[in-house]
C-alpha cells in the first residue's frame, strides 16, 4: 500500500542505529550536538504545525460506536480503513520503510506485549530505540508468544505532514494503530500513548488488568524499606518531576530517598500475594524540557546529558548545546529558536516550544530503581490522582475506600497544557488523566476500575493531590517539586496505617500538624491550613460540573459512582 523503495528490518544493533544516525544527519533531519558536553545527543525540529498530540484528530475505531464512547472520536472502521488507505497509497514512494519490532516492558516479563511499527522516519526509529526495547531479541519472544492479543500492528507514515489529513487511529479489536501526516512524539512513537495506553487499556479490560497514565516511584525510608506508589496526573502536570523527586535536606539527612520506576505509564496486575503490582512498559523518558533545571529536576536533566534526542528546543550555535526557558538565567546569545530561526532572547518571545521535549534512556537516570526492569514489577501501596487546580482541590486528601477512590479519580479535572494542541489553561474533566488515552467507553472504564477493586484482596489506598493552588496574585502557594516529599510522606504513612487524618466532606485530610513543614520558610502553618481547606461553596459548584460530566455517559455510568456523588452532595449539606 505505501510502496516504499526499500524495506529495512531494525535488528536493534548499535551498528545499524549508528548508520541510521549518519543517514539522518546527512539528510538534515537531526543535528549533532557538542561531543564533549552532550555526547551522542541530537537535536530535531518538527514542522511548525506538528508540535503536540492532536486529540481532535485521534480516533478509537471500535466496530460499534458505543464501544468507543462519548469522550473519543469515532468512525466506522471499514470507512476509516478505506479513507486511510487512500492517504497511505504510495506514501513511502522514494522512501525507506523501517520495520521496528518492539516490546513494552522487558520481553521476558509476564506483563510484556509486543508490537511492530512500520515507519518511514529515522527519527521515529531512533526514538523508539530509546523509548522501548527493539530488535531481534523481541522477535524471538513474539514468535514464542501464544496469545494473539500480545501483538499490535503499528503503521506510521509522515506523508506530507499535512495537518488537514493528520490521523492517529486506534482499531482496538484489530490490535492495530494507523498514524499518518505527523512526525511528533505521542502521534508517532506508537509504543507510547497509542499502544501502551489506548490499545493496552482495551486489552487490560478484556484480560483483567489495567493500563494507566501513571508514574511509579519507590520511597525509601531511613530503615531501608522501599514503599511504592503510582500517580496519575494529566499531561505536563508533574509526573516526570514527581517520579524523580529529590527530598528536601531534612529528609535526605534522615536517609529518605526516592527511586524512579517510571514517569508516564504503568501497567498494573493483581499479584499472587493479592497486592497490585506495576511495571513501567517503557524504556525511556519523553520529558517536557521547559522548566527542567538543576533545581526543579536535576535527575531529569542528568538523564539527558548523553544518548538523548532533543525536540523543538533552542540551539546554541556557539557551542552546539541546547537551551530552553527555565533551564537557567543565561539564554544563549547566538542561537536558533525551535523553528530554526535566528533568535534573540531579549525579544520576549520564547525560544523553545512550550511542549519541547527530550528523549532519554531511563537507565541513565541517577535515581532509577533497582526494580526498573523487574519482570514482576513492584507492589503498589498507594494510588495518587492529581491535576492543576487553581482553587477547589486541597493539597492532598484520601478517599474513604476503593470505590470512593474510583469516584475521586473519575471527577478529576485539570487546566489544559501545551502537551496537546488547543487552548491552554482551561479547566476540563480528565478522569484518571486518561481522557485522551482511554481506548474504549469511559463508562466501561469506570466499571472496570470498580471491578478491579473486587479482584485485589489487598488494594492500594487512593489519594488526590494538587500542587497548583494559587493565591490572589495568581502565584502557586505550595513550593512543589522536592517539597512534594512532605505530602508523599503523609500518603505513604496513611497507606500503612501510620498517620492520623481528619474527616471532611470529600474524604480524609491531614491535620495541618501531620504535614512536616520544617525548614520550609515560604509556608506558614496558616498557609498550610489554607492549602488543606475544603471550601464547601466551591465544592457545591464542583458537584454541578460533575453532574454535567456524568450525564454524558448515560446508562454506562456505574450506579456506584452516582451513589458516591449523591453521598458527596449530602455531606456538603
Ligand atoms: P507528560 O510527559 O506530558 O505526561 O508530563 P508530566 O506529567 O510528566 O509533567 P512534568 O513533570 O514534565 O511537568 C510539567 C510542568 O509542570 C513543568 O513545567 C514543571 O516545571 C511543572 N511542575 C512539575 N511539578 C511541579 C510542582 O510540584 N509544582 C509546580 N508549580 N510546577 C510543577
Ligand atoms: C503526554 O502528552 O502525556 C506525553 C507526551 O507524555 S506524548 O508522548 O506526546 O503523549
Ligand atoms: Mn504523559
Nearest atom (ligand 2) to Cα of 235: 3
Q: How far apart are the first and last CA of the chain?
A: 62
Q: How many residues does the chain have?
A: 573
Residues 253 and 328 in one domain: no
Domain ends where: 338, 358, 378? Answer: 358
What is the grid cell recorded at 380? 503498589
User: Are 204 and 250 members of one domain?
Assistant: no
Other CB atoms closer than 10 Å to residue 22's CB: what's the count? 12
Instruction: Quick: pLDDT tens for 148-185.
Output: 889 999 999 999 999 999 999 999 999 999 999 999 99
438 is catalytic: no
Are 225 and 274 in the same domain?
yes
Model pLDDT for residues 399-429, shown as the tens digit of each residue: 999 999 999 999 999 999 999 999 999 999 9
Q: Which is it for the CA torsion 208, 212, 217, 221, positive or negative?
A: negative
* CA pair distance 328, 245, nearest whole angstrom: 19
Q: Are 275 and 316 members of one domain?
A: no
Atom of ligand 1 nearest to the CA of 264: 4
Ligand 2 pocket check: which of 187, 213, 235, 288 to mutate, most ligand atoms within 8 Å of Cβ?
Answer: 235
The domain of 315 spans 286-358
Average per-residue pLDDT for the chain: 97
Does any ligand 2 atom lie closer than 6 A to the CB of residue 264?
yes
Atom number of ligand 2 nearest to Cα 420? 2
Using DSSP, state whether 527 is helix, strand or coil.
helix
What pLDDT, on the 0 to 100 scale, is given for residue 266?
Answer: 98
**Nearby residues for ligand 3 (ion, Cβ within 5 Å):** 235, 264
Q: Give the separation between CA 515 and CA 552, rounded to whole angstroms.
A: 38
- If asked whether residues 273 and 156 sit together in one domain, one would say no
How far apart are the CA of 525 and the centre of ligand 2, in A?
36
Ligand with minimal distance to 420 CA: 2
* Same domain, residue pair 290 and 416: no
In this structure, are 497 and 556 located in the same domain?
Answer: yes
List Cα–Cα distances, 230 to 260, 423, 461, 491, in angstroms.
11, 28, 11, 11
User: Considering only CA atoms, which of 373, 372, 370, 361 is closest in space to residue 39?
Assistant: 361
Residues 237, 260, 365, 367: which is the catalytic one?
Answer: 237
What pLDDT is attached to residue 536?
97
Domain count, the chain: 3
Residue 147 clears pLDDT 90, i.e. is over it:
no
Among 216, 231, 240, 482, the mutation site with the greatest number of ligand 1 atoms within 8 A of its Cβ is 240
Using 50, 70 and 90 to split pLDDT, how confident is the model at 146? confident
Give tens-digit pLDDT for 11-29.
999 999 999 999 999 999 9
235 in contact with ligand 2, CB cutoff 6 A: yes
pLDDT at 496: 97
Q: Is the CB of 416 under 6 A from ligand 1?
A: no
Angstrom CA distances, 40 to 10, 307, 337, 557, stand at 20, 5, 21, 50
Amino acid at each position: 500500500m505505501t510502496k516504499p523503495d526499500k524495506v529495512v528490518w531494525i535488528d536493534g544493533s548499535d551498528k545499524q542505529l549508528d548508520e541510521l544516525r549518519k543517514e539522518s544527519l546527512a539528510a538534515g533531519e537531526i543535528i549533532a550536538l557538542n561531543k564533549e558536553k552532550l555526547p551522542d545527543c541530537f537535536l530535531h525540529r518538527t514542522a511548525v504545525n506538528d508540535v503536540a498530540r492532536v486529540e481532535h484528530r485521534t480516533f478509537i475505531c471500535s466496530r460499534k460506536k458505543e464501544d468507543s464512547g462519548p469522550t473519543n472520536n469515532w468512525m466506522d472502521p471499514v470507512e476509516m480503513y478505506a479513507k486511510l488507505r487512500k492517504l497511505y497509497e504510495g506514501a513511502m514512494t522514494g522512501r525507506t520503510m523501517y520495520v521496528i519490532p518492539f516490546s513494552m516492558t522487558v520481553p521476558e516479563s509476564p506483563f510484556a506485549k509486543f508490537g511492530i511499527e512500520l515507519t518511514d522516519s529515522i527519527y521515529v526509529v531512533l526514538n523508539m530505540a530509546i523509548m522501548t526495547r527493539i530488535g531481534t531479541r523481541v522477535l524471538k519472544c513474539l514468535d514464542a508468544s501464544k496469545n494473539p492479543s500480545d501483538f499490535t500492528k503499528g503503521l506510521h507514515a509522515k506523508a506530507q505532514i499535512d495537518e488537514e489529513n493528520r490521523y492517529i487511529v486506534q482499531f482496538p479489536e484489530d490490535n492495530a494503530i494507523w498514524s499518518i501526516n505527523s512526525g511528533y512524539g505521542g502521534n508517532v512513537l506508537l509504543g507510547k500513548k497509542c499502544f501502551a495506553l489506548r490499545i493496552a487499556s482495551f486489552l487490560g479490560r478484556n484480560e483483567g488488568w489495567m493500563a494507566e497514565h501513571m508514574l511509579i516511584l519507590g520511597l525509601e525510608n531511613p530503615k531501608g524499606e522501599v514503599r511504592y506508589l503510582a500517580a496519575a496526573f494529566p499531561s505536563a502536570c508533574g509526573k516526570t518531576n514527581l517520579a524523580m523527586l529529590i527530598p528536601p535536606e531534612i529528609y535526605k539527612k534522615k536517609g529518605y530517598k526516592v527511586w524512579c520506576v517510571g514517569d508516564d505509564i504503568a501497567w498494573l496486575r493483581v499479584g499472587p500475594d493479592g497486592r497490585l503490582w506495576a511495571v513501567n512498559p517503557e524504556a525511556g523518558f519523553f520529558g517536557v524540557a521547559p522548566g527542567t533545571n538543576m533545581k526543579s529536576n536535576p535527575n531529569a536533566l542528568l538523564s539527558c546529558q548523553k544518548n538523548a534526542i532533543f525536540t523543538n528546543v533552542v540551539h546554541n550555535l556557539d557551542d552546539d548545546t541546547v537551551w530552553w526557558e527555565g533551564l537557567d538565567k543565561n539564554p544563549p546569545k547566538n542561537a536558533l529558536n525551535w523553528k530554526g530561526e535566528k533568535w534573540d532572547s531579549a525579544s520576549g518571545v520564547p525560544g523553545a516550544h512550550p511542549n519541547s521535549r527530550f528523549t532519554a534512556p531511563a537507565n541513565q537516570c541517577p535515581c532509577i530503581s533497582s526494580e526498573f526492569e523487574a519482570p514482576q514489577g513492584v507492589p503498589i501501596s498507594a494510588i495518587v490522582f492529581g491535576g492543576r487546580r487553581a482553587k477547589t482541590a486541597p493539597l492532598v486528601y484520601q478517599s474513604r475506600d476503593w470505590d470512593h477512590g474510583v469516584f475521586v479519580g473519575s471527577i478529576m479535572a485539570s487546566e489544559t497544557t501545551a502537551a496537546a494542541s488547543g487552548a491552554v489553561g482551561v479547566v476540563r474533566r480528565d478522569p484518571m488523566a486518561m481522557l485522551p488515552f482511554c481506548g474504549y467507553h469511559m463508562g466501561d472504564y469506570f466499571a472496570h476500575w470498580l471491578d478491579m477493586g473486587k479482584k485485589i484482596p489487598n488494594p492500594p489506598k487512593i489519594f488526590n493531590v494538587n500542587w497548583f493552588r494559587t493565591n490572589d496574585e495568581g502565584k502557586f502557594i505550595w513550593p512543589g517539586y522536592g517539597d512534594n516529599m512532605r505530602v508523599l510522606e503523609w500518603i505513604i504513612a496513611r497507606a500503612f496505617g501510620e498517620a492520623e487524618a481528619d474527616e471532611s466532606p470529600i474524604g480524609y485530610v491531614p491535620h495541618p500538624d501531620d504535614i512536616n513543614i520544617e525548614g520550609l520558610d515560604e509556608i506558614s502553618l496558616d498557609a498550610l491550613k489554607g492549602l488543606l481547606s475544603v471550601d464547601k461553596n466551591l465544592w457545591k459548584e464542583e458537584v454541578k460540573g460533575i453532574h454535567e460530566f456524568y450525564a454524558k455517559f448515560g446508562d454506562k455510568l456505574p450506579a456506584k459512582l452516582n451513589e458516591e456523588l449523591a453521598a458527596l452532595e449530602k455531606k456538603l449539606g
